[in-house]
């Protein structure tokens, strides 16, 4: 195997395809050599600053650093963003993204999300293909969780998180990969994004991201 | 006209009303007319309004001898009140005097309740006296040419200064005053304060560091005290059956029937509760159990519509209501003659507040004020006993002013940039003259300027940060209309959750409630608010539209809102009461009533004496409990628990959940904790206190929570447009997220650091903690290994508001935890 799957990651099988859950929040699809990433919200920091909210500007660079790290790690053929790649309108962070696309050896595609209001042609000028949805080998890639019979859905949008309880009134909430029988929702990749706490049922599988480790916290 | 001449006018007006001016009123008139600044220490209902309004009018008469025929335009005075509910009363008194003297002076109100058209009218022509709140004054400073508007001011009166003093609204006032001193050359500054421990300091904060420089070179400012003393008698309501009285709780409904005869026996009773939620519940339950009260009792709290509040206040004056269930909205400043009876439900936690509420009652002149105290759980009877002593010994607390509140300063600087713009070299000396910012260095000042213009300390490539811009002449100015509007909207938001209006579908405003409460409900759900059962019909544009419902529901509106900690003065008296119990004196009716609880505590553990420090440990289904009893009040326990938890966690990896109340604190863990190791390692040491405390803060959520207010006040978190449809979601973040981003990317940010400093100075009270540790070290430590929860421990271990601290790896903890599943 070319890539590493060390203890910090989780390998799962869906419809006899192998997927690796990475602590950055990305998923690597072995058969397709494709990296799935949801909700990066690039440009959010700059957007806030432009409107007078002084979020530290260093926070903006971290997302692209993280993207570079994870693509260097898996060396995928395709990087597929599952929506909300950019938080809002075009701003200076676009230049940095452009540089990253030029640097990145993989093909880049974007499944458009509710925040993606930057015109399609600007992406296409960079060689980034934009889709509303994508169906590949029975796997349905979308931004909003969407179920279609007979397919397995990968999506983002929700920024899923879960709450854990322990003896001694201990509680923790953590971002997670959230898997049901027919879909998997990815955690938000961006560092300046929140999370939305979900309450799983017994049938769901939950993989929490804990200090750089992906840990299965459900029975399944 | 000279000053004696002119005060005669006032004296004869008093005569015409068959009143005599009190000496403190006359002293205030003279000092004011002499051009002095000052602080007046007088209780509500004592005639303080006339102490200051009279000389303001007289000053006008003096300067305008032709006042009867010719009215001189321009604002003469501003009257600041912390609660907008109070403004009507002041307006009426002021207008009466102005009219009787034929002065032609007008009195206007400007608060959040003032309509848009009235505001516009005021902008064209200001009333002669403007009654307003600190926030509304700030908004005026955010409008263009405020300097011209305020040029004619002769006085600003800050009413209820003790209320503002210990809060960031007090800092807002200090800054506004520093500006007004420059733009209004004839300004006199006066404060009115109830009795607090640090009146001298209160005056320093109000007047700033150059307090002795006053108008026309008159030396000195004055502190005037009204010599009125009131006697207060405290009567505890002691449950007939102590055995069934609960060990914990905060509502006190068990004793509801006990107050019914008290209500029935007096003309009017005010029932004070500590929170708006408690107020709603008591009102509801009284009506439910005693339908005969319908129409005879009412409710008064800050979230109820203004008209209803005014109606209730008027009804109290007319004595046309049997009882009013109220919160602090009624114990501050609303002027009305004392009512016959006052009842306090639950511990007021501080002596000053209790006295203020007690002062609301007076049966007959010359007789003492009587206040009934209704405990909400058994141990509160101990507090009742302590309160009685505090009243007898005339103990009062200090209000601690904020220092270097950069969040408020940044808000203020943007305010000035929104209106006229400002030149730093003009504003810096003004800022430095305030009490709050007397210690600000040039370096920190420049930091603030960089923050509002660059959003950071160094210019970075590509940065599009926009807030305040600097013109070629060096004027700091906000050019963007959107930034200006967002800033104006955020001025009023010093510490408030998003509020939602509650309205009938058919129209008709009922009041405001916090958004989080309504967000839990769906259409069709019912809830109780303002004494009515309502059904939620729909949510629209920050409005909850409702209709009346006949369904019964237990879903009473609740409000966030901090719990009050016991003041240090109260804690000391409480410890002494406890100790008198340990000596088995049981010399007050409250302590006598508690005897079966003390007996049980003695059986299962001990009641600690003066030289004893009690630690209890026991195990339950929830884990291993360790309870410590310093009896130092909530704040000190908060600090001490995280300090101790941190020190223990250094010995071996362990995770704690912490709880505290006014008596003690708990460290709860899923692992056994050997108290002997705590004692052997001398973990109560006051050495390295500052260092350890700082590190323990990093592991808990205290500073993170403080940061919430700071982020909102300094404009980092925008809370959205009230009552507007404009979508701002793409600009909403939460302070938690920001806190993390600052910690990771800009840890030297002054606002981020302020969260820690405020936690130290206002929350943890390091000084008190050090004294408490020294006391513990001189005491005999008694460790009791108990079978089960003791009476003393019960209110603590059942508390659900908890802090956590851990030295374990997250992954290790996760392995022992379980996922919360759908039920």
Residue, of B485 and B141, whose pLDDT is higher = B141
pLDDT at B22: 86
H or E segment and range at residue B794: helix B794-797
Per-residue pLDDT tens over the stretch B152-174: 999 999 998 988 888 888 999 99
Residue pair B415/B491 in contact by the 8 Å Cβ criterion:
yes
Mean pLDDT calculated for residue range B253-279: 87
Domain extents for chain A? 10-216
Write down the pLDDT at residue B728: 46
Query: What is residue B45's predicted lDDT score, i.e. its pLDDT?
Result: 63
Residues of A in contact with B707 (CB under 8 A): none
Could you read off the pLDDT of B751-799 as tens digits, one per residue? 998 988 888 777 667 778 888 899 999 999 999 999 999 988 988 888 7
The pLDDT value given to residue B76: 95
- From start to end of B458-585, where are the E strands? 469-470, 476-477, 499-504, 509-514, 526-529, 532-540, 543-548
What 8-state DSSP symbol labels residue B734?
-
pLDDT of B37 reads: 92
Which residue in chain A has the smallest CA separation from B746?
A56
Site of tokens 């807002």:
B172
- Contact pairs from chain A to chain B, CB under 8 Å: 154
Q: At residue B192, does pLDDT exceed 90?
A: yes
pLDDT score of B726 more than 50: no
What pLDDT is attached to residue A1?
A: 36
Single pTM value for the model: 0.78
Q: Give the pLDDT confidence score for residue B723 in this predicted structure.
A: 43
Question: Hey, of B814, B815, B816, which one would you mutate to test binding to chain A, going by the most A CBs within 10 A of its CB?
Answer: B814
Structural contact between residues B804 and B702, judged by C-beta atoms closer than 8 angstroms? no
User: Which range, B108-117, B236-245, B292-301, B485-494, is most confident?
Assistant: B292-301
Instruction: Report the range of poorest mean pLDDT among B88-92, B498-502, B715-719.
Output: B498-502
Longest dimension (CA), chain A: 56
Contacting residues for B466 by C-beta, under 8 A, at least 6 apart: A49, A50, A51, A52, B480, B483
What confidence score (pLDDT) does residue B708 get?
A: 80
pLDDT at position B567 over 80? no
Q: Which residue has the higher pLDDT, A15 or B632?
A: A15
Residue A190 sits at the vertex; the CA angle it makes with A187 and A191, to the nearest 5 degrees, is 110
- Which chain A positions have a beta carbon within 8 Å of B463's beta carbon? 46, 49, 57, 92
Residue A168 in this model has a pLDDT that exceeds 90: no
Has residue B215 got a pLDDT over 60? no
Higher pLDDT pick, A159 / B227:
A159
B56: pLDDT confidence band, cut at 50, 70 and 90?
very high
Q: Work out the average pLDDT over B463-470.
A: 81
In 3D space, the residue among A206, A190, A188, A189 whose CA is nearest the CA of residue A198 turns out to be A206
The pLDDT, as a whole number, for residue B419 is 94
The yes-or-no verdict on residue B562 having pLDDT over 50 is no
Task: Give residue B719's pLDDT.
Answer: 61
What pLDDT is recorded for position B356?
77
Reduced to 3 states, what is the DSSP secondary structure of residue A214? strand
> Which pair of structure tokens corresponds to residue B237?
């309501």
**Whether B16 contacts chain A with CB within 8 A:** no
pLDDT for position B366: 63
If you average pLDDT over each of B34-38, B314-318, B413-417, which comes out highest?
A: B413-417
> Are the Cβ atoms of A59 and B741 closer than 8 angstroms?
yes
Residues B30-48 have a mean pLDDT of: 85
Nearest to B559 by CA among B248, B817, B328: B328
> H/E/C letters for each residue in B509-545?
EEEEEEHHHHHCCCCCCEEEECCEEEEEEEEECCEEE
The residue ranking higher by pLDDT, B249 or B680, is B680
Q: Which of A73, A131, A65, A70 is nearest to A100 (CA)?
A: A65
Which residue among A164, A191, A192 sits closest to B819, beta carbon to beta carbon? A164
Q: Which of A48, A95, A201 is the closest to B733 by Cβ? A: A48
The rounded distance, in Å, linking the Cα atoms of A36 and A110 is 10
Would the pLDDT of B219 be above 70? no
Of B244-248, B718-722, B732-736, give the range with the top mean pLDDT. Answer: B244-248
**pLDDT of B560:** 45
Whether B542 has a pLDDT exceeding 60, the answer reads no
* Yes or no, beta carbons of B464 and A165 under 8 Å apart: no
> Above pLDDT 90, what percent of chain B?
30
Domains of chain B in start order, with CATH, are 3-225 (3.40.50.300), 232-393 (3.40.50.300), 406-491 (1.10.10.10), 499-548 (no CATH), 605-816 (no CATH)
For A210, the enclosing helix (H) or strand (E) is: strand A205-210
CA distances, B511 to each of A176, B95, B385, B508 (Å): 40, 28, 37, 10
CB contact under 8 A, B817 and A92: no
Q: Identify whether the C-beta of residue B404 lies closer than 8 Å to the C-beta of residue B439.
A: yes
CA–CA separation, B455 vs B466, rounded Å?
8
CA distance B711 to chain A (A): 10
DSSP lists the bridge partners of residue A79 as: A35, A108
**What distance in Å separates the CA atoms of residue B506 and residue B545, rounded to the nearest whole number?**
9
Whether A53 and B819 lie within 8 Å, measured CB to CB: no
Partner-chain residue, chosen from B462, B657, B814, that has the shortest CB–CB distance to A208: B814
Confidence of residue B534 (pLDDT cuts 50, 70, 90): confident
- With cut-offs at 50, 70 and 90, classify the pLDDT of residue B703: confident
Share of residues in chain A with pLDDT > 70 (%):
96
Average pLDDT, chain B: 83
**What pLDDT is stored for residue A16 in this prediction?**
93
The confidence band for B229, taking pLDDT boundaries of 50, 70 and 90, is low
Question: Which of B609-613, B669-673, B719-723 shows the highest mean pLDDT?
Answer: B669-673
B730, pLDDT greater than 60: no
SS3 A3: coil
Kindly report the average pLDDT of chain A as a whole number: 89
Q: Do A56 and B742 make contact, defined as CB atoms within 8 angstroms? A: yes
- The ipTM estimated for the assembled molecules is 0.77
Say yes or no for a CB contact (<8 Å) between A167 and B486: no
> A59 and B717: CB-CB below 8 Å?
no
Least confident of A19-33, B130-144, B318-332: B318-332
Percentage with pLDDT > 70 across chain B: 86
- What tens digit of pLDDT does each residue of B278-294 get? 888 899 899 989 999 88
The answer to whether the Cβ–Cβ distance between B822 and A200 falls below 8 Å is yes
| B821 contacts A57? CB cut-off 8 A | no
Q: Do A168 and B624 touch (CB under 8 A)?
A: yes
3-class DSSP assignment, residue B388? helix
Report the pLDDT value the prediction gives residue B496, as an integer from 0 to 100: 41
Quick one: pLDDT band at residue B724, thresholds 50, 70, 90? very low
* B494 vs A: CB within 8 A: no
- On whether any CB of chain A is under 8 Å from the CB of B727, the answer is no
Convert the pLDDT of each residue in A44-60 to its tens digit.
888 888 877 788 878 88
* Mean pLDDT, range A152-175, rounded to an integer: 88
Q: Report the pLDDT value the prediction gives residue B274, as an integer from 0 to 100.
A: 80
Q: Which chain B residue has its CA at the smallest distance from A166's CA?
A: B817
pLDDT at B743 over 90: no
Joined tokens for residue B693: 């405390």
Nearest CA in chain A to B479: A52
CA distances (Å), origin B791, targets B283, B349, B581, B620: 30, 21, 15, 15
Give the tens place of pLDDT for each residue, B607-621: 888 889 999 999 998
* Range in A75-84, B231-240, B517-526 the model is least confident about: B517-526
Specify the fold of A10-216. Answer: Purple Acid Phosphatase; chain A, domain 2 (3.60.21)
Instruction: Judge: A164–B486 Cβ closer than 8 Å, yes or no.
Output: no
Pairing of strands B269-272, B323-326: parallel
Judged by average pLDDT, the poorest of A176-190, B195-209, B545-559 is B545-559
CB atoms B670 and A200 under 8 Å: no
């Amino acid at each position: 195997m070319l890539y590493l799957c060390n203890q910090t990651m989780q390998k799962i099988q869906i419809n006899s395809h192998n997927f690796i859950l990475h602590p950055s929040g990305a998923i690597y699809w072995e058969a397709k050599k494709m990296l799935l990433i949801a909700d990066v919200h690039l440009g959010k920091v700059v957007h806030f600053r432009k409107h007078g909210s002084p979020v530290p500007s260093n926070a903006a660079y971290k997302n692209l650093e993280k993207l570079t790290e994870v693509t260097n790690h898996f060396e995928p053929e395709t990087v597929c963003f599952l929506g909300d790649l950019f938080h809002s309108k075009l701003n200076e962070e676009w230049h940095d993204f452009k540089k990253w696309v030029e640097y990145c050896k993989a093909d880049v595609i974007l499944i458009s999300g509710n925040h993606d209001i930057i015109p399609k042609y600007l992406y296409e000028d960079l060689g980034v293909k934009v889709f509303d949805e994508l169906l590949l080998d029975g796997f349905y890639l979308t931004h909003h969780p969407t179920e279609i019979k007979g397919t397995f859905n990968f999506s983002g949008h929700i920024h899923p998180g879960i709450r854990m309880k322990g003896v001694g009134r201990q509680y923790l909430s953590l971002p997670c990969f959230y898997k049901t029988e027919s879909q998997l929702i990815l955690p938000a990749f961006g560092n300046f994004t929140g999370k939305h706490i979900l309450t799983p049922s017994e049938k769901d599988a939950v993989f929490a991201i804990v200090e750089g480790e992906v840990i299965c916290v459900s029975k399944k | 006209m000279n000053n004696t001449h002119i005060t005669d006018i006032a004296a004869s007006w008093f005569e015409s009303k068959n009143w005599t001016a009190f000496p403190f009123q006359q002293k205030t008139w003279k000092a004011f007319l002499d051009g002095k600044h000052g602080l007046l220490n007088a209780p509500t209902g004592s005639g303080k309004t006339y102490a200051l309004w009279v000389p303001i009018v007289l000053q006008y008469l003096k300067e305008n001898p032709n006042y009867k025929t010719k009215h001189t335009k321009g604002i003469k005075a501003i009257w600041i009140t912390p609660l907008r509910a109070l403004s009507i009363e002041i307006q009426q008194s002021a207008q009466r005097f102005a009219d009787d003297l034929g002065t032609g002076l007008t009195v206007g109100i400007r608060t959040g309740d003032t309509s848009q058209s009235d505001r516009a009218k005021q902008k064209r022509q200001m009333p002669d006296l403007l009654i307003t709140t600190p926030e509304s004054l700030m908004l005026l400073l955010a409008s263009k040419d405020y300097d011209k508007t305020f040029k004619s001011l002769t006085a600003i009166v800050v009413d209820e200064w003790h209320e503002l003093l210990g809060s960031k609204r007090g800092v807002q006032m200090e800054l506004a005053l520093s500006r007004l001193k420059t733009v209004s050359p004839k300004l006199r500054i006066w404060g009115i304060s109830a009795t607090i421990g640090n009146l001298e300091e209160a005056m320093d904060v109000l007047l700033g560091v150059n307090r002795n420089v006053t108008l026309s070179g008159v030396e000195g400012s004055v502190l005037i005290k009204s010599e009125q003393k009131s006697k207060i008698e405290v009567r505890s309501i002691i449950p007939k059956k102590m055995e069934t009285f609960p060990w914990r709780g905060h509502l006190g409904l068990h004793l509801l029937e006990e107050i019914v005869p008290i209500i029935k026996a007096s003309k009017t009773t005010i029932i004070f509760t500590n929170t708006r939620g408690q107020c709603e519940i008591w009102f509801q339950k009284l009506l439910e159990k005693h339908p005969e009260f319908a129409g005879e009792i009412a409710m008064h709290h800050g979230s109820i519509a203004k008209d209803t509040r005014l109606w209730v206040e008027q009804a109290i004056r007319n004595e046309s209501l049997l009882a009013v269930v109220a919160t602090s909205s009624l114990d501050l400043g609303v002027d009305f003659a004392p009512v016959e009876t006052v009842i306090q439900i639950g511990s007021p936690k501080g002596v000053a507040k209790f006295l203020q509420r007690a002062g609301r009652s007076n049966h007959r002149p010359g007789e003492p004020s009587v206040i009934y105290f209704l405990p909400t759980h058994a141990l509160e009877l101990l507090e009742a006993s302590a309160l009685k002593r505090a009243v007898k010994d005339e103990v009062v607390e200090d209000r601690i002013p904020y220092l270097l509140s950069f969040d408020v300063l940044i808000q203020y600087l943007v305010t000035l940039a929104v209106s006229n713009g400002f030149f730093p070299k003009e504003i810096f000396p003004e800022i430095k003259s305030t009490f709050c910012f007397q210690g600000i260095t040039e370096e920190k000042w420049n930091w603030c300027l960089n923050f509002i213009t660059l959003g950071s300390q160094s210019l970075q490539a590509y940065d599009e940060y926009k807030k305040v811009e600097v013109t070629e002449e060096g004027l700091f100015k906000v050019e963007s209309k959107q930034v200006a509007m967002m800033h104006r909207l955020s001025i009023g938001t010093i510490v408030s959750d998003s509020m939602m209006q509650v309205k009938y579908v058919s129209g008709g405003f009922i009041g405001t409630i916090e958004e989080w409460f309504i967000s839990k409900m769906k259409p069709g759900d019912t809830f109780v608010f303002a004494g009515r059962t309502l059904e939620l019909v729909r949510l629209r544009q920050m409005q909850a539209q409702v209709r009346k419902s006949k369904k019964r529901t237990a879903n009473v509106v609740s409000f966030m809102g901090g719990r009050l900690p016991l003041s240090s003065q109260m804690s000391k008296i409480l410890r002494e009461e406890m100790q008198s119990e340990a000596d088995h004196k049981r010399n007050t009716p409250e302590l006598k009533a508690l005897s079966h609880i003390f007996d049980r505590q003695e059986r299962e553990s001990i009641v600690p004496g003066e030289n004893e420090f009690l630690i209890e440990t026991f195990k339950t289904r929830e884990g291993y409990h360790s309870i410590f009893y310093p009896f130092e009040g909530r704040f000190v326990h908060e600090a001490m628990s995280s300090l101790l938890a941190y020190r223990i966690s250094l010995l071996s990896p362990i995770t704690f959940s912490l709880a505290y109340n006014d008596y003690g604190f708990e460290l709860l863990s899923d692992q056994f904790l050997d108290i002997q190791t705590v004692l052997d390692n001398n973990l109560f040491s006051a050495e390295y206190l500052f260092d350890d405390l700082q590190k323990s803060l990093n592991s808990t959520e205290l500073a993170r929570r403080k940061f919430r207010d700071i982020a909102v006040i300094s404009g980092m978190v925008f809370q959205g447009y009230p009552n507007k449809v404009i979508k701002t979601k793409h600009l909403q973040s939460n302070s938690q997220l920001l806190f993390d981003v600052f910690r990771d990317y800009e840890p030297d940010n002054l606002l981020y650091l302020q969260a820690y400093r405020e936690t130290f100075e206002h929350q943890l009270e390091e000084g008190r903690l050090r004294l408490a540790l020294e006391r513990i070290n001189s005491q005999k430590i008694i460790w009791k290994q108990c079978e089960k929860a003791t009476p003393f421990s019960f209110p603590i271990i059942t508390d659900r508001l908890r802090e956590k601290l851990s030295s374990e790896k997250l992954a290790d903890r996760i392995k022992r935890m379980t996922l919360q599943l759908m039920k």
